Amino acid sequence: MRFDVITLFPEFIGQATSIGVVGRARERGLVELATWNPRDHAEGGYRKVDERPFGGGPGMVMLDAPLSRTLAAARRAGEGGAEARLVYLSPQGARLTQRRIEALASEPRLILFCGRYEGVDQRFIDREVDEELSIGDYVLSGGELAAAVVIDAVARLLDGALGNAESAARDSFGDGLLDCPHYTRPERIGDDEVPAVLLSGDHGAIARWRRREQLGRTWLRRPDLLARVALDAGDRALLDEYRREWLARARPERRQPPSGGRRG
């Protein structure tokens, strides 16, 4: 899969994508990445990429012309540039979810556009942008961190990017639920022991325990997610078991789960 990133800070994107899973995916040719700096497509001695906003107010607005030329150059490079979706990272965008990441991972090529300054001339956005995405309800000083988030989350879904193909499916959100807890050596730390079932060698029981923990954690921490997952009779039984044990264990003042415990 190919990413073209339009950014005034190409070094940031280069660094953020050169380590870990994404770095390995790039080395192995699963991910191809190119950056495009609007400053290289700006005119005049100052290579101006921004201007004061019409109507006044603080901050600067990114100019349409250098952005349009940068985008044209990105689209001309390599295969499939003309059809590639242009994603603009901005706090005004739709909230990024794992579902959206899965859809983006099925594209052969994406162009990610990172805004800076107070904003971007709306006419560029209206004319060129296919999709506006936000990584959360807070304001970053630019879209680069958000673009790095998209690249990381997409790259790890690509075939062969993770060592163990199973682990992406078992991640949080892979099936709409949070992940279960994980343990490794030693078996005991002070009074804390690893749940006995994980040492039992009984793969059926381990799978059942993990599913129960996923359901229970999601119920406790993210009931909004649980409400959107279709639970079969087996899941409902596991969740009931988890709830009963949780309520029996919880101190009286904590007996109300944080959410009020909406049923899935």
Which two three-digit tokens encode residue 28? Answer: 């192995």
Q: How many amino acids of this chain bind ligand ADE (CB under 6 A)?
A: 11
Eight-class DSSP state of 260 = -
**Distance (Å, rounded) from C-alpha 65 to C-alpha 42?**
8
**Contact (CB, 8 A) for 95 and 102:** no
Angle CA 100–105–106, to nearest 5: 105
Q: Considering beta carbons, is residue 4 or 144 the nearer one to ligand ADE?
A: 144
CB of 134 to ligand ADE, least distance (A): 4
Binding mask 138-177 for ligand ADE (x = CB under 6 A): xxx--x--x-------------------------------
Contact flag: residue 35 with ligand ADE (CB under 6 A): no
Checking DSSP bridges between strand 192-193 and strand 188-189, what pairing results, if any?
antiparallel
| Whole-number Å distance between alpha carbons of 155 and 79 | 19
Residue whose CB is nearest to ligand ADE in the complex, by number: 146
Residue 114 pairs in a beta bridge with 89
CB of residue 112 to ligand ADE, shortest distance in Å: 10
Does position 16 interact with ligand ADE (CB under 6 A)? The reply is: no
Q: For residue 109, what are the β-bridge partners?
A: 2
* Alpha carbon of residue 97 to chain centroid: 7
Catalytic member of 131, 171, 179, 241 = 171
Owner of token pair 């959206």: 100
Q: Is 118 one of the annotated active-site residues of the chain?
A: yes
Catalytic residue among 118, 131, 132, 179: 118
Toward ligand ADE, which CB reaches closer, 143 or 264?
143
CA 163, 165, 167, 171 torsion-angle sign:
positive
- Cβ proximity to ligand ADE: between 70 and 90 the closer is 90
3-class DSSP assignment, residue 167? helix
* By the rule CB under 6 A, 90 interacts with ligand ADE: yes
The one segment of 56-64, 130-138, 151-159, 254-262 that binds ligand ADE by CB under 6 A: 130-138
> Considering only residues 89, 111, 157, 177, which one is a binding residue for ligand ADE as defined by CB under 6 A?
89
Active site residue 91: yes
- Which residues sit at the interface with ligand ADE, rule CB under 6 A? 89-91, 134-136, 138-140, 143, 146
Positions marked catalytic: 91, 118, 156, 171
